[in-house]
Structure 1
C-alpha cells in the first residue's frame, strides 16, 4: 500500500472510487480511507473482489477483440489505476504499434500511470475531466497519439454508472461517438440492478453516501445510451457472459457479476 501521508492536492479525507477499485483488484495505489471503505463494501458484498476482477477480465477480452478486428488505437475513458494486464499491455502484446490514451482525473492514477508508461512512446495518460469530451479529444497528448480519421476503440469500463441522467450520459457518449471514424468500437460496462438482490442496492447506497453516486442501469437504458452504435453479439450481457475464453468461466449465475457489458461498432 502507498504511504498514507498523501502528497499535496490529493484528498484522503474521503474514499475515492478509483482507489477503492484498485484495492479490490489487489492493487497498492490506495489509502487507509479507501481500504476501510472497501472493507465495508465487502461486509455487504463478500464477492466484491471477484466482481471487480470479472470486469477487468471482460475489459481484457474486449481489447483483444478490438485488436483482432485490426484496431490499433484505444481511448480509455475513466481508466483508473494502471494494473497488470492494463489496456496497453494487452493491445501491444498483440500489435506492438498499438497506441493507447488513458484518461482520468484522479491524481494518484495519473501520477502512477506516468511512471508505468515512462519509455512507452505509444501509450500515455491524460489528466482531464472525462465528462468534457472536447478537453479530452483536443488534448495535445490525445492529438499526438490518436488519429481520429482511423478507427479507435473507445473504452468506458465501469465509468458511465457514475454519470447521472441529469448530466446527460447519452449526450456524453454521443460526443465521443461523433469524433470516431466509421469502423470504430465502443466497449462499455455498467453496474445494474437487473437480477440483483438487496445487497447490491445496499452496496450502491454505501457508495452514494461515502464516495460518489452510482446510477445502475438496465439493458434497455444502456441500449438507449449507445444509440448510433451497432451492439455486437452476444448483445448486452453480464460481464462473464461476454465472449468468455472458456464456457466454464460463465458460471451458473453470471448475474452475480452485477455489471452488464457490451461492445458496439460505429458503421
Structure 2
C-alpha cells in the first residue's frame, strides 16, 4: 500500500462479501452482520466456498510448476492459510505476489499475515476490481508485466452487476498481461441448483450485497480470445492437472484456467 495514504476505516454496520466468505470458510474475522448473511445461505453455498478454495490451491500450484513466478490476486479476501503466496512460494521461493482487495479489514490482516519468503515478495493493494487501472499501476511496484503473470479472479465477479461492465473489467486486466500469462478464474452459478436461487439471492439482497451468478455460457465469455486449459470451464471438483482427481461434489462454482496467447 502507498506510504502515507490514510487507512480506510472498517464499516461494521454493513456486511461485506469477503467477511461473509470468511464465515462460510469457518474463519473468525467477520462481524455479526456478515454472520447474519452467512447463516441464511444453504449448506451447499458454504461447501462451494470451501471447494473454491481447494481449486485455488490446485490451480496456483500448477501454475507455479509451469514456471510462473508472478501472481496478481484480485479480490484476495481475508487471509486463510495456506494463502496463495504460501502455496506458490513453497514451489518457487522467489515468486512475487501482489494482492488486491477493497475491504479495509483485509488490509489489516494482510499487513500482518501476508508475509512471503526472503527470496520472494508480497505486496498489498487497497483497491476494487472496478478500478483496474489503480490495481495495475500499484502492482507494478512488485510485478514485471513484461514477463508472464498469473492473474487470479476467484469468486469475485459474481459480485459485479451487469451494469458495471464485468467483462470489460476482466479484459482491462487481461490486456495488461504478456503472452504466456494465465487467467485463473472462478464464478458463482445457480446452474446445479436453480431451486435455491431465491434463497441465496435474498440473503445477499437483504445484506445490501450485489450478487449476479452466471450460467456456463456467461462464464465462458470471460475467456473470449484466450486459450482455455483443458478441461475448460467446469465446476471446482472437475478441474485438476497434475494431482489426483478430487472427489466429485455438486457445487455452485464454475472455474477455468486460460493462457494469454
Q: TM-score normalized by structure 2?
A: 0.91
> Retained in 2: the 8 A contact 1:67–1:95?
yes
Other-structure match for 2:125 = 126
> Retained in 2: the 8 A contact 1:170–1:226?
no
Distance 1:238 1:102 in 2: 24
Other-structure match for 2:244 = 246
Other-structure match for 1:178 = 175
Distance 1:137 1:37 in 2: 32
Distance 2:174 2:150 in 1: 10
Give 3-state SS (helix, strand or coil) of 1:155's partner. strand
> Retained in 1: the 8 A contact 2:192–2:251?
no
RMSD: 1.8
Task: With a CA cutoff of 8 Å and minimum separation of 6, indicate the structure with the bigger relative contact order.
Answer: 2
Unmatched tracts of structure 1, length 5 or more: 1-6
Structure 1 segment 93-112 matched on structure 2, within 5 A: 93-112=90-109
C-alpha offsets along residues 160-210 of structure 1, whole Å, 9 cap, x if unaligned?
A: 111112111111111111100000000110011213231244112211231
1:216 aligns with 2:213: yes
Offset of residue 37 of structure 1: 2.2
Unmatched tracts of structure 2, length 5 or more: 1-6
1:231 aligns with 2:225: no
Other-structure match for 2:3 = none
C-alpha offsets along residues 83-126 of structure 1, whole Å, 9 cap, x if unaligned?
A: 10111000000010011111001000111111113475601211
